[in-house]
Structure 1
C-alpha cells in the first residue's frame, strides 16, 4: 500500500486475518480476559472491522484527468475505494469542480463535493496540458498507468498529441475512459461535442427529467408546478461515473486475460437511459407518452409517500393481497370494495383519490407509530398480505442514526490540512 498520509480524505485499510490479534485485543487479553472472549468483545464494539478485506484493485494505477465533471471524479473515487492508486491531474489553479459547493461553502478554497466525493483518497498533481512540458509529463504518467479517465470535449487531448491513439503507442495496455454528455461518436457528438459535460444536460437528454415532476393529472397541483424537474442531486454525473467504473473493471478483467487495453466511450445520459424504467418501452409499444407521475406510479400503486403526523412516510400495498391487508389495517372495507383489483388502482384519476383516503388514516400517527403498527401486522400468522412502510429521512435524521455509522456508510476523518470531514 502507498503512504496513506499523502492521500486526501479517507484513510483506507488492508484486510487482516481474523485470527490475528489487534492491538486492542492484546490489551484486553493483557487484562486477564480469555482470548476468545476478547475477540468477541472487540468485534462487538468494532462491527465494521468484520468487513475488512484485501483491496481488490490494489495493483491498478489510475490517472484521473477529469475537468469540471463529477462523472469522471466519481468513477475514480469508486476505483480508489476498491484499492486503486489514483493520481488526479489538475490544471494550474485547480479543477473548476473545486468551486462547486452549496452556498459557496469552502474549506481551504475547496468545495465540499470535491473534498468528500471528487478528491478523496487520491494523489493530486498540477500539470498544464496546454504546454509542451506538461504534455511530456502527462505522457510519462500515462505510460505507467492501467487506466486514464478524462472528461474533456471530444478531440481536445488528441489535438495536443495526447489522445488515445498517441498514448496507446507507448502503453498498448492502456484502458482509456472518456466521459462526455454526447459521447465521442454519433450524429449528436459531431454537432454538440464542443459543449462540456454537464449533469443537467445528461439528465435532460436521458428522458429522466421529462418523467420527473408533479403529475399533470393531479387537480391539487397548481399549473405552475407541472413542469419537468431535475433530480435533487447530480444524478447524471454520478450514474455516468458508476457506469464508467463498472466498464473499467470489466476492461481490466479483459486486460488481465489478454494484456490488451481499449477505448471506453462513456456517455452519462446512456447510463440514465438504462435505468429510465418503463417510459421508453411504453411509448414504443403504445405510441403514447405517459404523463408525469410525481410520487405516484403507473405500474404499482399504492407505492408512494403519504402524509403522517410528523411529516411523510412511504406506504406500499400494490398487489391485491397486500392491498387487502392495507385496507384491513385501516379498517376500510369500503375502500377495498371500490378499488378491488390492481387495474382499478393504477389509473391516473384514481391514484390521487386513493392516496387521499390513505392519508385520512396515516395523518393520525407518526412515522414510527406506523412502522411499529405494520411490523406487528406483518408478523401475524393470519395476515392477508404484507404492507411495507419506511420513514422519509432528512440528512439530519441519517447522520443521527447509529445504523448508518455501524455499517460505515459514512465516516468522519480528521485530515491534517482540511480538518474534520464527513466522507460517504
Structure 2
C-alpha cells in the first residue's frame, strides 16, 4: 500500500515542473495519466541523451521526470479530443498542468469549466508568474523557463564569483523546487478536501517559489540595505577547505562553531586574533585568513578524515563529492535512494528517487516512463475517445 493509492492524477505537462510534480505523486502511489500531443508528445521525449532500439526510444531527460506514469494522446485543438479530455477530467482527483498562460482557457478547458463537471477536482496550475486572477501581477502573461526564473528570482545575483557575471545554479533548479512546492500544495488540498468535500485551485508560480527560497537574502536586505556580493556571505563565514583528495565545506555561523574549528585544527590561538572577533569579521576574513590557516591542517588529510574529525568535535562539515561519487554513494544506497529501472529501449538504468521515506507505506515503484500513447485504451469508453 502507498499513501496515494486510489488517487487519479491527470498531467497536462511538459519539460520539467509539472512532470516532476506528477512523478512525485506517482511515486506516492497515485495513478498518473500523462496527456500528450499525438505528434511528438512531451518535447523532453526527444532530448539527449537518447537511447534507441528497434521498437522505440527513451530519453534520459524524459525518464528522469516521468517514471511510474501512463500515457494517452489527445489533440486538444480538436473538438472531439477536447470532449474526451473533459470526460477524463471528470474522473480525476487532481490535474497538474503547466501550459502557457491562457492556453487551456482558450480551448475551453480551464479550471472553471472542469470544476463545473467535477466539484471535487484539485487543479494545480504551474506557471512562471502565477495564474490566480485575484493575485495577478504585471508579469502574468510572460512565458517562463528555468534560467529566466533563476535570474528574475534573484538566485543568479548571489551565485558565482564576486567579480564575475551572474551564474545560474543547477540546471532545472527553479523547476524542481517549484514542483516540490506544487506537490505540497496538492497534498494539502487533498487533505482539505477530506474535510470540506470540495476541490481547490493550486496556483504555483516559479517566481514565487524561487523568491521564497531567498528569504535570508531578503531579510538581510530589509535589515541592512546592504547588497550582498555574489559568492560571499558577510554574515556567516563559509567555504571549502582543501584536502589531500579534494575539498570539504563548512559554515561557521556561531562563535561556538568557530571555537570548535580552532580546537579541531589545533589552533586555539586564532580565537584571540583581533581580525576574527565577530561573526562579520570572520565572514569578511574567511578567504584571506581562516582558509589558509585551516588548510595548513586540512591539506595533509583526506576528506573523510577531516569530516570525521570535525564531527567528533561537534562541527558539521561535508565532503565536496563529485557527481560520480554521489552516484555510487554507499549512504544513499543504504537509504535506498536509487531505483533500478529496466526500460525496453534504454536498458537497465539507475535513477534517483523522490526523497520521501516512511515506515509504514511501500516505497515507489520502479516502473519506467511510458511510450507515447501506450495507455490509449483508457480512452476507449469516454465520449468520442480514440483507441490510439
Query: Residues 153 and 207 of structure 2 are in contact (CA less than 8 Å); yes or no, is this contact kept in structure 1?
Result: yes
Matches within 5 A, 1:245-284: 245-284=183-222
**Aligned-pair distance for 1:333?**
3.5
Mapped partners of 1:110, 1:91: distance in 2: 17
Mapped partners of 1:186, 1:235: distance in 2: 26
1:159 to 100, 106, 118: 106
**Aligned-pair distance for 1:349?**
4.7
**Aligned-pair distance for 1:146?**
0.7
Matches within 5 A, 1:19-418: 54-68=1-15, 70-92=16-38, 93-101=40-48, 104-107=49-52, 108-116=56-64, 118-185=65-132, 192-214=139-161, 216=162, 223=163, 226-292=164-230, 294=231, 296-301=232-237, 303-338=238-273, 339-343=275-279, 345-375=281-311, 377-378=312-313, 386-418=314-346
Mapped partners of 1:106, 1:158: distance in 2: 36
Mapped partners of 2:280, 2:220: distance in 1: 19
* Alpha carbons of structure 1 residues 324 and 411: separation in structure 2 relative to 1, 3 Å: same
Structure 1 stretches of 4+ with a deviation exceeding 6 A read none
Alignment correspondent of 1:36: none
* Alpha carbons of structure 1 residues 389 and 347: separation in structure 2 relative to 1, 3 Å: closer
Mapped partners of 2:62, 2:329: distance in 1: 25
For residues 13-58 of structure 1, the C-alpha deviation after alignment (integer angstroms, 9 at most, x for no partner) is xxxxxxxxxxxxxxxxxxxxxxxxxxxxxxxxxxxxxxxxx31111
Q: Which runs of 5+ in 1 are unaligned?
A: 1-53, 217-222, 379-385
- Superposed CA RMSD: 2.3
* Alpha carbons of structure 1 residues 366 and 61: separation in structure 2 relative to 1, 3 Å: same
Query: Residues 319 and 342 of structure 1 are in contact (CA less than 8 Å); yes or no, is this contact kept in structure 2?
Result: no
Alignment correspondent of 2:358: none
Query: Residues 155 and 210 of structure 2 are in contact (CA less than 8 Å); yes or no, is this contact kept in structure 1?
Result: yes
* Alpha carbons of structure 1 residues 178 and 166: separation in structure 2 relative to 1, 3 Å: same
**Aligned-pair distance for 1:347?**
4.3
For residues 172-193 of structure 1, the C-alpha deviation after alignment (integer angstroms, 9 at most, x for no partner) is 1111111111112579967544
Identify which of structures 1 and 2 has the higher relative contact order when contacts are C-alpha pairs closer than 8 Å and 6+ apart.
2
**Aligned-pair distance for 1:318?**
4.0
Query: Residues 318 and 342 of structure 1 are in contact (CA less than 8 Å); yes or no, is this contact kept in structure 2?
Result: no
For residues 393-421 of structure 1, the C-alpha deviation after alignment (integer angstroms, 9 at most, x for no partner) is 12211232322122110121223444212
Mapped partners of 2:310, 2:169: distance in 1: 30
For residues 129-163 of structure 1, the C-alpha deviation after alignment (integer angstroms, 9 at most, x for no partner) is 11112211111110100111111122111111111
Mapped partners of 1:137, 1:417: distance in 2: 30
Mapped partners of 2:155, 2:2: distance in 1: 35
Count residues in correspondence.
347
Find the residue that maps to 1:422 and give its secondary structure: strand
* Alpha carbons of structure 1 residues 406 and 163: separation in structure 2 relative to 1, 3 Å: same
**Aligned-pair distance for 1:290?**
1.6
* Alpha carbons of structure 1 residues 348 and 187: separation in structure 2 relative to 1, 3 Å: farther
**Aligned-pair distance for 1:372?**
3.7
Find the residue that maps to 1:297 and give its secondary structure: coil
Query: Residues 61 and 147 of structure 1 are in contact (CA less than 8 Å); yes or no, is this contact kept in structure 2?
Result: yes
Find the residue that maps to 1:228 and give its secondary structure: coil
* Alpha carbons of structure 1 residues 322 and 281: separation in structure 2 relative to 1, 3 Å: closer
**Aligned-pair distance for 1:126?**
0.9
Mapped partners of 2:281, 2:345: distance in 1: 56
Find the residue that maps to 1:98 and give its secondary structure: helix
* Alpha carbons of structure 1 residues 400 and 347: separation in structure 2 relative to 1, 3 Å: closer
**Aligned-pair distance for 1:204?**
1.4
Query: Residues 200 and 230 of structure 1 are in contact (CA less than 8 Å); yes or no, is this contact kept in structure 2?
Result: yes
